[in-house]
Amino acid sequence: MGSQLIGKFAKVAAAASATAAGYYAYRVYRNTTAIDTPIIASRSIPDSLRQSWTVKELINRNNHPAVMDSQYTELAARFREVPDTVLLARFLRGFFGGYVFGPERVALKAVGIDLVHMSRIQDTAPAIWSTTELSDTALPALHTKLFGAFQVVEITLGESESHVDIVFGSDTSEFGGVHRFAIQRTESSVQVHLQHLVCNPTKPKKLSPEILLDFHLVYANMLFRESIKAITR
């Protein structure tokens, strides 16, 4: 009798898991497809990030070999009147609060410890552990830590470009990097950019293995797509 109950429970649990996995895959698909404008990707980053304070003074003070990539897309004309702060807030909420980041977010919350540390940034910073704390109209305060693994280290608002720099890892370990979310404007367009740099801050050697870097490019593209959807929906 006991073995029969265990068998039935296992079947129910397996069915529930399959249903949850199917729903998750469906939501990821819905949130990462049908982007209205082309996405342009590159294995490089602009000098504005490469020479920034975040990279030169925090992440890569010793100019070690780094892995870099970026992607951007142009928003429809109706978003030209939306303030950069709102566009960046929506993008950030889509990035860290969406379905693509969901498994990583759950894992980080389960661990519940501080995984990001920059020696030149205060550790007594506000923390966000719930998606309900992510606003779609206002950015987190400077130095806020997100889910224990990311930290807002720079917020710049300008006429032609606004951006938020979010670091991860540690400048005293063998892994550290930055995501830059940027809005760039001209008289006739508004572009949204995701730029990324990661390196070994303490040793002059490349990150490996390559397969993880390939996975990162796919993952970053999915995060970017869902973040764009968070702006345009």
Domain of residue 126: give its range.
34-232
Half-sphere exposure of 89 (CA within 13 A, CB side): 15
Is 25 part of any domain? no
CATH number at residue 216: 3.30.530
Least confident of 101-105, 172-176, 210-214: 210-214
Q: Is 27 exposed, middle or buried (0-12, 13-18, 19+ CB in 10 A)?
A: middle
Q: Which two tokens stand for residue 216?
A: 């990162």
Looking at the DSSP bridge assignments, the partners of residue 181 are 164, 194
Instruction: Select from 119, 102, 81 the least CA-distant residue to 28.
Output: 102
Is 29 part of any domain? no
For 166-184, give the DSSP string.
Answer: EEEEBTTSS-EEEEEEEEE
pLDDT number for residue 5:
53
Q: Find the largest Cα–Cα distance for the chain.
A: 74
Number of domains in the chain: 1
* pTM of the predicted structure, to 2 decimals: 0.90
Is 168 part of any domain? yes
Is 4 part of any domain? no
Q: Which two tokens stand for residue 98?
A: 């969406």
Is 3 part of any domain? no
pLDDT number for residue 107:
97
Is 2 part of any domain? no
Res 131 pLDDT > 90:
yes
As a whole number of angstroms, the distance between CA 225 and CA 12 comes to 34
Virtual torsion, Cα 79, 83, 88, 93, nearest 10 deg: -80
Is 14 part of any domain? no
pLDDT number for residue 127:
95
Is 20 part of any domain? no
